[in-house]
Structure 1
């Protein structure tokens, strides 16, 4: 009985020791007597003891390979350090195991040489502004070169480009000058836009003011015209009403006298001579006689005779008729008039 149990226990122990569980996203490469036999994917597997062995455990996840910075020389002989990152994954575990001795080391060296070749065809300024092109070219070259190794390069990124300190200082000065130039240009453009906006605002304000003045003048003119029209229309209506009322001449003359009274009211001296003054005077005379106002006696318009002057004893009668000499009298009167006029002028 013991002889049966011991071999059975040994067999179970050997089977348990050769049972393998492959995790997800991993694969095992199996050799049989030193020769590739199979590739185990995720799941439960049992290998033959002493005949099969697991050569390599390979992860199928995407790997991020951060290589150290590589010194490169540009086309214009500028040496700088470039740090790159390579993203890759294993697509064929058999080729990855048997295609190259050290796939990661081989990929690193291949990445460095490819980067030197690409940067060597570019100048410094082009290198600094062409990262996308460098990434694309490196990805295409590395992916094609690593196909025999069972590796697929999914992405390549240039993380850092470090030029020499002298170049950095020159680039800093250039960048500062460029920014100052842009600032000056932006300030000039802002000032120009402000001036243009202010001028447009003043223009619109003047236009609106002119339109407002025009509308106000038009409204005032329309109001004045309407007022004059209403006044003339009212006067016309009044004249039409008077004409329709059949007013006689006496009433019109009375209204004329009332109008003269209103016109003469004031401090200044005014004299109005109506065109029909004779008729007015005659009418007033008739009215006075009818009312018994004033003296209706006729006025004697004949010239009155002057009584003879008494002879002046101081004047000698040269005519022999006992009268005054007319020539002497005339001269005396003229002299008196001249003296009176001279006295008035001196006063």
Structure 2
């Protein structure tokens, strides 16, 4: 057996195996030869020249994220603390892009430091032109500003900013307490204004209702008084008409008309007794008293007849 031939075969197999390179999915390997860029290897099984070509770096083409925490100062000297999340990736899988990503920075650490500091600087410069009260409502504007400012810089590095999320914006404790007091005072003012408007509406409606009730009651009283007057007038007309007819009948019968007065007197006494309901009524029931009452009634009738004749 020729051991030299076997050794040669083993060396040849090892040489071939040393040239086989496997690149994982989501990565692209950068190959150099004698320290100079030569080519890239894409995911899968690849062959390189053993001992001459070397894998310089592996570039991830997957999306990557990093969390940022930093401080900025507004134009009115208020400290603002940001917590944000940065999502970025390699622009594309083209060879020139991969070369920029592989050779622009010495390591991943330097890339992250430059990326974070660039974004922080852009946000700080934007916040420095705004007031404290404006910052909370400017999340979207800050993100859009940073994207516009940083995209061109990242492109020269071979990266693209996919998303920037500002998750939290806080202030110093003293500022938070003062803002809370301002919000509370605004809420109290709004509540007082609403209560005042509600009370005004209630008072107005109550006054309108009371006025309408007074108008309705006055109108009802007016109509009632009118009806009472009409009823009294009609009653008097009917009484006068009845007395006239009764007097005429008595004259035709050759009877004294004083009988009518006597009848009215007795009817009055009867009504007093029937509707008095226990009240004490003093009447002069003597013949002289009745005669005086009759004379007064006759005098009043005579005065009415004289006034009617004058008309």
**So what's the TM-score if we normalise by structure 1?**
0.52
1:242, 1:77 → 2: CA distance? Answer: 107
1:127, 1:275 → 2: CA distance? Answer: 103
8 Å contact from structure 1 (residues 22, 45) kept in 2: yes
Greater helix fraction, Structure 1 or Structure 2: 2
1:151, 1:193 → 2: CA distance? Answer: 55
- Higher RCO (C-alpha 8 Å, min separation 6): 2
8 Å contact from structure 1 (residues 75, 122) kept in 2: yes
1:104, 1:268 → 2: CA distance? Answer: 127
8 Å contact from structure 1 (residues 84, 160) kept in 2: yes
Q: Residue 323 of structure 1 aligns with which residue? A: none
8 Å contact from structure 2 (residues 85, 165) kept in 1: yes
TM-superposition CA deviations, 1:71-127 (whole Å, max 9, x none): x89989999998875432112323212344335404523643674587479759748
Name stretches of at least 5 consecutive residues in structure 2 with no aligned partner: 92-96, 271-280, 300-311
**So what's the TM-score if we normalise by structure 2?**
0.57
8 Å contact from structure 1 (residues 69, 83) kept in 2: yes
Structure 1's 79 and 243: CA in aligned 2 closer, same or farther, altered over 3 A?
closer
Q: Residue 45 of structure 2 aligns with which residue? A: 45
Q: Residue 282 of structure 2 aligns with which residue? A: 267
8 Å contact from structure 2 (residues 31, 53) kept in 1: yes
Q: Which moved more, 1:59-68 or 1:107-116?
A: 107-116
Pairing partner for 2:98 from 75, 93, 104: 93
Structure 1's 125 and 66: CA in aligned 2 closer, same or farther, altered over 3 A?
same
8 Å contact from structure 2 (residues 119, 146) kept in 1: yes
Number of residue pairs the alignment of both structures matches: 266
8 Å contact from structure 2 (residues 70, 120) kept in 1: no
Structure 1's 261 and 55: CA in aligned 2 closer, same or farther, altered over 3 A?
same
8 Å contact from structure 1 (residues 143, 154) kept in 2: no
Name stretches of at least 5 consecutive residues in structure 1 with no aligned partner: 277-347
8 Å contact from structure 2 (residues 30, 37) kept in 1: no
Q: Residue 290 of structure 1 aligns with which residue? A: none
8 Å contact from structure 2 (residues 23, 46) kept in 1: no
8 Å contact from structure 1 (residues 80, 161) kept in 2: yes
TM superposition shift of 1:66: 4.4
8 Å contact from structure 2 (residues 20, 48) kept in 1: no
1:104, 1:178 → 2: CA distance? Answer: 39
Q: Residue 112 of structure 1 aligns with which residue? A: 117
8 Å contact from structure 2 (residues 20, 45) kept in 1: yes
TM superposition shift of 1:181: 5.4
Q: Residue 219 of structure 1 aligns with which residue? A: 220
Q: Residue 150 of structure 1 aligns with which residue? A: 158
- Equivalent positions of 1:118-197 (< 5 A) are 119=124, 123=128, 126=131, 130=135, 132=139, 136-156=144-164, 172=174, 176-177=177-178, 179-180=180-181, 183-184=184-185, 186-187=187-188, 190-191=191-192, 193-197=194-198
TM-superposition CA deviations, 1:285-327 (whole Å, max 9, x none): xxxxxxxxxxxxxxxxxxxxxxxxxxxxxxxxxxxxxxxxxxx
Structure showing greater Rg: 1
